Amino acid sequence: MAPLGRGIAGYGDATFPPAPPSGFSAPAPHTAFSPVTGVPGRFRILHVSTGNVCRSPITERLHRHALDLRLGGEGSGGLLVESAGTWGHEGAPMETHAATVLADYGADPAGFTGRELLDEHVIRADLVLTATRDHRAQVISMGHSAGLRTFTLKEFNRLVRAIDPATLPEPDPRLPDGGLVERARALVGAAAALRGWLLAPTPESDEVHDPYGAPITFFRSIGDEINQALDPVVTALTGVPARA
């Protein structure tokens, strides 16, 4: 359970320009965007921040933890979650306060080491979620057709909440990945198609601010902010809502 009484308020109402006439549905699975090098049965999610010692480690490990809770600890359904930093501290541990935040949520901080963002990370990622718009721009500037699969975390949250889940492929327990890889690819395609229709209330509302060097109270507020942003994303990816 998330710690109570901490954090920044959740996302407010987004600003909508004229919507498509009949709402929005995910495109057919074969139109979903994915990297050319995508591996069948696997879907890689890459979280990106600056140093890869604060925001992206928190987001990576909270995302993994949420998948475990949704899927009952029975594997990730082919969804692989990792992180890197645009100025990553290669081999560095995460910040102590970041590890404390993860422990607050019951997530595991053990064994983490920082990585500098490399071309290979972007090439093999099916979805890149960044802390800020600057990070998003840096990822896209690396090329590799990353534009249609790179979003800030909060931007992706906003887009995902506008997609009708009934239009996404249903999970299929008969498949080795539970059908989640096809669902995830369709979700990314739908979010990319919707991006020009659904605008943020302000540009800053798509940002997660850097807590590096801040006291634990600010780290915890950022942890709450990230956790709130991840919740509908993980629900959309898995088709399983968070437990009450």
Q: Domain residues of the chain, as ranges?
A: 43-236
Which of 17, 71, 80, 56 has its CA nearest to residue 135? 56
User: Is the confidence at residue 82, as pLDDT, over 50?
Assistant: yes
User: Is the confidence at residue 188, as pLDDT, over 60?
Assistant: yes
Model pTM? 0.85
pLDDT at 168: 97
User: Is the confidence at residue 61, as pLDDT, over 90?
Assistant: yes
Q: Is the dihedral of CA 138, 144, 147, 152 positive or negative?
A: negative
Span 43-236 CATH architecture: 3-Layer(aba) Sandwich (3.40)
Cα Rg for the chain, rounded, in angstroms? 17
22 vs 134, more confident: 134
